[in-house]
């Protein structure tokens, strides 16, 4: 017998599961059945593709039994792919996905109490320890003739011993604790299997003793019965007209770890040149790993109902990684490899059609059900924006799907709605990107646009600065960032020219004083109250964007110098105009530049210098 320790994160996870999911302890059964179903899927696939297993005759099934005696137990077994010695030690001793580990690490105490959040990633096998004081797993790997038993009380160690098993598969025995006793019962098991596992594609049998009574109602004995509890049909292959919204919702919750109904389901059964079925879901909440590089893809691939993979990121474009569901093709070969998959014409047709379908449904919702669409946007606006950057084929639809905050509207607005509100003389869609909504709303740059009655879109996602310039135009209207040099004199060309002429001497003085700190000093026709503001060259990233890129570890960026846009009406500018004292001019100019940067959330490079200048000015 070998005794081994769990990896540390398993102990952590165990603790977390037991405390967070306590009120949902019954989900352990869903987890065990789902593992059994995966094991059956894997073996079914191997018998079709692996030479050494082709002769294995096998009728996939899951069996559940219990004992109500003094020692209450629950047994879940499958005749699937099974686990060998090392699989038992590794798979039941670690958490496979690094994303899960990181996710766990980053949870706050508050979040740890939220069972929805925890339930979102598969807690898996370990949830058994919520209801069991001891768990024994006897498993024999397909193709091998030795069996092993894994056993643990979930308190830090497990043992591995030689065991017996007639054929391939896994038998899990839970020795129920006080919390779990209630599950050694026919009715509660039936209810749970129906609720959580009805759509598992393999039959689930429950073994129980049925009491028999005589005419007088006296118990005369009992008979052992084995009854199939679930309907065991791949839901997506059933006709759409047979299915109710509840069926889809249950299927979704059973096949993901989400406890909330999805916002939307999209079921497509295509026949003709390509034969396939797709069933997609839009979750109510963004998956926890949506922005992790090692996110888990949400779409499973089947070929003729045989499960192929749940780990293929190319089934849908990256920006649709929040979509959950199933693609089941009739035309792909079963032993399709990842390489084949990625260049396969059939697959690429399914993918293209699926994207069109999903975006089309979203468009429909956005037109017909704004309330629901707002929920979708609150979660998935950002990934849809990513699509604008990469998916040119669907650019028009994506442009109609993305939403933005604005200076004049509550909530989100679309580009089309913005256009419909534009002033008659307005020829440009204005936006300001970088930073949160509150900070953007305070930007002095907005003053001039407000005065003219022009709406400005406020772009608060960190990727807007990259995505929006790539849009260029919307229905022939150019999009302009108001904090870029191209927008400086655009609002009022005549006025700007006049100002530039008037201010020639001040601008020159300031430019000389600021020297290399600025690319240029220009006269503003947009500022009303503020004395100065930062803009950047059309081709440079905004100052906030530069900060984001730095925070992301891009340190080799060339330092970009800003343009200082000044308000000639400001009394400070008048002071510069009237002064010949070079020191004084330098102090004023530098402080103006620094405070313009501070308003953008950027600390002066040399705070001590800034304070010195400010003090000198204050003491004058
Ligand atoms: P998950 O199912 O999310 O991967 P689990 O902790 O439930 O996490 O299971 C860990 C691993 O153990 C599985 O990925 C699988 O490889 C293996 N496993 C669990 N149950 C079974 C089973 N009944 N048959 C074969 N392998 C299993």
Pocket test for ligand 1, best of 91, 97, 128, 147 (most atoms within 8 A of CB): 91
* Pairwise CA distance, residues 433 & 310, whole Å: 37
Return contacts of 240-244, CB within 8 angstroms, 24+ apart. Answer: 240/267, 240/269, 243/267
Take residue 66 and report the two structure tokens written for it: 């219990």
SS3 328: strand
Atom number in ligand 1 closest to CA 126: 6
CB neighbours of 558 closer than 8 A, spacing ≥ 6? none
Does 455 contact ligand 1 (Cβ within 6 A)? no
* Pairwise CA distance, residues 416 & 576, whole Å: 45
- pLDDT at site 594: 94
Is residue 157 a contact partner of residue 44, using CB atoms and an 8 Å limit? Answer: no
Pocket test for ligand 1, best of 125, 139, 172, 257 (most atoms within 8 A of CB): 125
Residue 197 region by backbone torsions, left for phi larger than 0, else alpha for psi between -120 and 50, else beta: alpha
pLDDT digits (tens, 9 = 90+) for 387-442: 998 899 999 999 999 999 999 999 999 999 999 999 999 999 999 987 788 889 98
Take residue 551 and report the two structure tokens written for it: 């925070």
57 to each of 43, 48, 143, 235, 382, how far by Cα in Å?
11, 11, 12, 26, 49
Is residue 129 a contact partner of residue 14, using CB atoms and an 8 Å limit? Answer: yes
In CATH, the number for domain 236-397 is 3.30.230.80
Which residue, judged by its Cα, is nearest atom 13 of ligand 1? 91
Is residue 292 a contact partner of residue 336, using CB atoms and an 8 Å limit? Answer: no
> How far apart are the CA of 401 and the centre of ligand 1, in A?
39
pLDDT digits (tens, 9 = 90+) for 555-564: 677 778 899 9
What 8-state DSSP symbol labels residue 444? T
The phi, psi pair for 271, rounded to 5°, reads -130, 150
> How far apart are the CA of 150 and the centre of ligand 1, in A?
13
Kindly state the average pLDDT of the residues 512-522: 94
- pLDDT at site 403: 97
* Pairwise CA distance, residues 522 & 566, whole Å: 6
Instruction: Provide the residue ranges of all domains of the chain, joining segments of one domain with +.
Output: 2-228, 236-397, 404-619
- Report the chain's C-alpha Rg in angstroms: 32
Does 518 contact ligand 1 (Cβ within 6 A)? no
Which residue, judged by its Cα, is nearest atom 1 of ligand 1? 124
- Asked if domains 2-228 and 236-397 share a fold, the reply is no
- pLDDT at site 378: 96
Which residue, judged by its Cα, is nearest atom 8 of ligand 1? 124
Mean pLDDT, the chain, integer: 89
pLDDT above 70: residue 189: yes
Q: CA angle 34-35-36, nearest 5°?
A: 90
Residue 552 pLDDT class (50, 70, 90 cuts): low
Q: Which H helix or E strand runs over 151? A: strand 147-152
Pair type for strands 73-78 and 169-176 = antiparallel
CA 245 from chain centre, in angstroms, equals 24
pLDDT digits (tens, 9 = 90+) for 519-536: 999 999 889 889 999 998
Atom number in ligand 1 closest to CA 125: 7
Which residue, judged by its Cα, is nearest atom 16 of ligand 1? 91
Q: Which H helix or E strand runs over 520? A: strand 520-523
Is residue 461 a contact partner of residue 411, using CB atoms and an 8 Å limit? Answer: no
- pLDDT at site 367: 96
Which residue, judged by its Cα, is nearest atom 27 of ligand 1? 35
Atom number in ligand 1 closest to CA 121: 3
- pLDDT at site 539: 78
> How far apart are the CA of 67 and the centre of ligand 1, in A?
24
Could you report how far apart the first and last alpha carbons of the chain are, in Å? 86
The strand pairing partners of 458, in sequence order, are: 405, 432
520-523 sheet: strands from edge to edge = 520-523, 563-566, 532-535
pLDDT digits (tens, 9 = 90+) for 129-186: 889 999 999 999 999 999 999 999 988 889 999 999 999 999 999 999 999 999 999 9
pLDDT above 50: residue 352: yes
* Pairwise CA distance, residues 248 & 266, whole Å: 10
Q: How many residues does the chain have?
A: 620
> How far apart are the CA of 24 and the centre of ligand 1, in A?
20
Does 562 contact ligand 1 (Cβ within 6 A)? no
Does 43 contact ligand 1 (Cβ within 6 A)? no
> How far apart are the CA of 305 and the centre of ligand 1, in A?
21
SS3 173: strand
Atom number in ligand 1 closest to CA 35: 20
Q: Which H helix or E strand runs over 616? A: helix 607-618
The strand pairing partners of 429, in sequence order, are: 479
pLDDT above 60: residue 565: yes
Does 507 contact ligand 1 (Cβ within 6 A)? no
- pLDDT at site 96: 46
Does 62 contact ligand 1 (Cβ within 6 A)? no
- 404-619 CATH, one of 1.20.120.790, 2.40.50.220, 1.10.150.650, 2.60.40.1930: 1.20.120.790
Does 83 contact ligand 1 (Cβ within 6 A)? yes
Beta-strand runs (E) in 167-273: 169-176, 204-213, 219-228, 264-270
Does 503 contact ligand 1 (Cβ within 6 A)? no
In CATH, the number for domain 2-228 is 3.30.565.10
């Amino acid at each position: 017998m070998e005794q081994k320790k769990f990896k540390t994160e398993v102990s952590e996870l165990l603790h977390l599961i037991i405390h967070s999911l306590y009120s949902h302890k019954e989900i352990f059964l869903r987890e065990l059945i789902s593992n059994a179903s995966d094991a059956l899927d894997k073996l079914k696939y191997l018998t079709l593709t692996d030479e050494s297993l082709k002769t294995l005759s096998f009728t996939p099934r899951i069996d559940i039994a219990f004992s109500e005696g003094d020692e209450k137990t629950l047994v879940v077994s499958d005749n699937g792919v099974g686990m060998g010695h090392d699989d038992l030690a590794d798979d039941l001793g670690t958490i496979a996905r690094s994303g899960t580990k990181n996710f766990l690490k980053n949870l706050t105490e508050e979040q740890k109490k939220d069972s929805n959040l925890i339930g979102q990633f598969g807690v898996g096998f370990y949830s058994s320890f919520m209801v069991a004081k001891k768990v024994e797993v006897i498993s024999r790997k397909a193709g091998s003739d030795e069996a092993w038993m894994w056993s643990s009380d979930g308190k830090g160690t497990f043992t591995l011993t030689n065991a017996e098993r007639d054929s391939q598969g896994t038998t899990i025995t839970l020795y129920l604790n006080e919390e779990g006793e209630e599950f050694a019962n026919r009715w509660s098991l039936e209810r749970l299997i129906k609720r959580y596992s009805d759509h598992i594609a393999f039959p689930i049998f429950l073994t129980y003793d049925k009491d028999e009574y005589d005419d007088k109602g006296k118990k005369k004995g009992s008979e052992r019965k084995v009854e199939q509890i679930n309907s065991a049909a791949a839901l997506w292959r059933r006709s759409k007209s047979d299915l109710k919204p509840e069926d889809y919702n249950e299927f979704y919750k059973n096949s993901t770890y989400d406890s909330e109904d999805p916002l939307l389901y999209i079921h497509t059964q295509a026949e003709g040149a390509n034969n396939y079925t797709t069933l997609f879901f839009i979750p109510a909440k963004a998956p926890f790993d949506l922005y992790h590089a090692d996110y888990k893809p949400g779409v499973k691939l089947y070929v003729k109902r045989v499960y192929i993979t749940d780990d293929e990121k190319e089934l849908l474009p990256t920006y649709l990684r929040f979509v959950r569901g199933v693609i089941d093709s009739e035309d792909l070969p079963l032993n399709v490899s990842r390489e084949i998959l990625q260049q396969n014409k059939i697959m690429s047709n399914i993918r293209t059609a699926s994207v069109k379908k999903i975006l089309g449904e979203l468009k429909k919702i956005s037109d017909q059900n704004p309330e629901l669409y707002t929920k979708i946007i609150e979660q998935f606006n950002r990934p849809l924006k990513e699509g604008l950057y990469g998916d040119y084929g669907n650019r028009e639809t994506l442009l109609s799907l993305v939403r933005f905050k604005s200076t004049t509207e509550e909530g989100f607005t679309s580009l089309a709605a913005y256009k419909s509100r534009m002033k008659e003389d307005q020829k440009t869609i204005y936006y300001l990107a970088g930073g949160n909504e509150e900070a953007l709303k305070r930007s002095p740059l907005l003053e001039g646009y407000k005065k003219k009655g022009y709406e400005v879109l406020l772009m608060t996602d960190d990727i807007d600065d990259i995505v929006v310039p790539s849009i260029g135009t919307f229905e022939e209207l150019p999009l302009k960032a108001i904090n870029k040099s191209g927008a400086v004199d655009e609002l009022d060309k005549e006025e700007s020219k006049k100002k530039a002429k008037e201010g020639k001497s001040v601008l020159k003085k300031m430019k000389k004083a600021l020297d290399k700190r600025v690319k240029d000093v220009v006269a503003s026709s947009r500022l009303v109250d503020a004395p100065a503001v930062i803009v950047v060259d059309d081709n440079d990233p905004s100052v906030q964007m530069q900060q984001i890129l730095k925070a992301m570890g891009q340190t080799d960026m060339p330092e970009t110098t800003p343009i200082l846009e000044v308000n000639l009406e400001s009394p400070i500018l008048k002071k510069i105009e009237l002064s010949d004292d070079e020191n004084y001019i330098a102090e004023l100019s530098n402080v103006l530049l620094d405070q313009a940067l501070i308003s953008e959330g950027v600390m002066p490079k040399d705070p001590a210098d800034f304070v010195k200048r400010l003090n000198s000015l204050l003491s004058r």
